Amino acid sequence: MKHYVLDTSALLTLRDDEAGADRVAELLAMAGNRKVRCKDPEFVQLPLEMECLPFK
């Protein structure tokens, strides 16, 4: 089974529907079907979580 690490730029590419978003979506779909494994480093989660916090 192949393993992939999705960094911040990959996740933001998917979110913003930029060039390459289709490949990221494909990898995530394959991971959902247990054909590959995708991992995001723990440090990747911080910027995405910070963008979701409401501004006060």
Give the number of domains in the chain. Answer: 1
Question: Which helix (H) or strand (E) covers residue 29, if one does?
Answer: helix 21-32
Instruction: Give pLDDT, residue 39.
Output: 78
What is the residue-level pLDDT of the chain in tens, covering all 56 positions?
A: 888 888 888 888 888 999 999 998 998 899 888 888 887 766 555 555 545 444 44
Instruction: Give pLDDT, residue 42.
Output: 62
Instruction: Give pLDDT, residue 23.
Output: 92
Instruction: Give pLDDT, residue 46.
Output: 52
Question: Residue 7 and residue 45: Cα distance in Å, rounded?
Answer: 9
Instruction: Give pLDDT, residue 19.
Output: 94
Adjacent-strand bridge partners of 2: 36
Question: Residue 40 and residue 7: Cα distance in Å, rounded?
Answer: 6
**What domain range is 23 assigned to?**
2-52
